[in-house]
Each structure stands twice: as C-alpha cells, then as structure tokens.
Amino acid sequence: MFSVEVNNLVKSYGSFQAVKGISFNVREGEVYGLIGPNGAGKTTTLRILSTLLEITGGEVKIQGIDLKARPDEVRKVISYLPEDAGAYKHLRGREYLKFIAQFFAQGQEAEDLVSRGMEIANLGDRIDDKVEAYSKGMARRLLVARALMIRPKLAILDELTSGLDVLNAQEIRRVVKSYASQGTTMLLSSHNMLEVELLCDRIALINDGKIVAEGTPNELKEKYGANNIEEVFVRVVRE
C-alpha cells in the first residue's frame, strides 16, 4: 500500500509555477528523499503535503485520504518538521515534550510519549535545561524527537539533520531508519547527498518544479554512471 500518492501536483503563485505537475508514490515504511537545487520545488511540495499550502492542481492522497478534501484528517496521521522549526525557548526540554504530548494523548499515554521523545532526543541531564541554553544541534534533536515520538503514519522532514555534527546526525539517521522499519513512512529533503544515499530507499530529483529522475540510490548511480548521489545530482541538474 502507498502511504503517499501524488498525481500531477501543481502549485502556482500568480503566473509563477513553483511545482509543475509532479507525480510520485511512497510506500508504507519507506524512506523517500526529495533532492534538488535551491528553488526547485522541494520545500513547496513538502509544505503542500503538510497541509500548509493549498494545491493549485492535481491530487494528493496520504494514507488514502484526499488531502484537498479532508486536510483535517490528514493532519491526524502526519508530523512535519520544517528546516527552520523552533521550540519554545523558555521551556525546559522535558516540559516542551510534555506540552506537545498533551495535544495527542492524556494520562499514562501522554507520559509514554514523553518517555519516547526523551529516548529519541538522547539529551541526558540536559533534557531539564531550558531550550534557550541548547546548542543548535541539541535543539534539533529535541525537534526530531517531537516529530517522531507520536509515531505518525507519515513523518515529513525538511533538512532532517540541519545543524547537527557528524555523530549526532548519525544517531538521528539511525532513529529514522528504526522508526521506518516499525512502519512510519519518512519523506525527507536534504542538501546532504551522503545522508540521502545512506538513508533513503528511493530518491526523486526535482529541478525547476519537475521530477527529472527517480529510483534507488544504486539505480540512479548505475543509470548516470556515477560513483555517488552527489555526482548524479550534478549531472541531472546540468542536463
């Protein structure tokens, strides 16, 4: 079954078309990457799937739910982490997770969500420090925990490891793979080509609002005679 079905999606701002009729499907439990140069339409696509932008044309279904007709139902099964997301700086890390958990559960179930979030964030004793005292990497780990602790059917992650050092990024990628293996579908964008190659089951390359290549990392490397996804990216964009 497909967790995400995108058919001929169009997004226009006046006379400017940011997304030009793209189509792709994402399977349940798959880690699917959208990559492309700045301004290619990646973030616009993710924001549409997150119900933050309206569709100009085409159709999107998430878990079989028509996004345009039933956006409120879609919001119940997704979690969205923007690249520029922030947490409430006056709260402590644990308090922030509790604040988020109350929107999804009550009582013991909410406490379980917080415990899961603390495990994902892996901040140790710093979980009880105020968010304003966190490094950028620590804050990002807290936000990834917020996105995944509710076990959404679909997690939409824009620049997943933005601001993280190598060790922290590696740990977050491990968590994402683990949650995907348990059934959460992951749709992400990233400028980190190594991350995309390590993490994604399949990749779509977007350029100028259109998908110009799609496949597994190995399929794309073989098709373009490339040693890595960065080389694929450069060759596709230059074409």
Computed over its alpha carbons, how large is the radius of gyration of the chain? Answer: 18
Distance CA 109, CA 92 (A): 20
Which among 156, 215, 151, 158 has a CA at the least distance from the CA of 181? 151
pLDDT at 161: 86
Q: Give 30's contacts (C-beta < 8 A, 6+ positions apart).
A: 3, 180, 185, 186, 201, 202
pLDDT at 187: 96
Residue given tokens 């979980």 in the structure block:
127
**Residues of the chain where predicted confidence (pLDDT) is lower than 70:** none
For residue 66, what are the β-bridge partners?
Answer: 61
Residue positions counted in the chain: 239
Q: Is the pTM of this model over 0.85?
A: yes
Domains with residue ranges and CATH for the chain: 2-77+152-238 (3.40.50.300), 86-151 (no CATH)
pLDDT at 160: 87
pLDDT (tens digit, 9 = 90+) per residue, 136-163? 888 989 999 999 999 999 999 998 887 7
DSSP 111-160: HHHHHHHHHHH--GGGGGSBGGGS-HHHHHHHHHHHHHTT--SEEEEEST
Distance CA 72, CA 79 (A): 13
pLDDT (tens digit, 9 = 90+) per residue, 53-66? 999 999 999 999 99
pLDDT at 163: 74
Task: Specify the 3-state DSSP secondary structure of 203.
Answer: strand
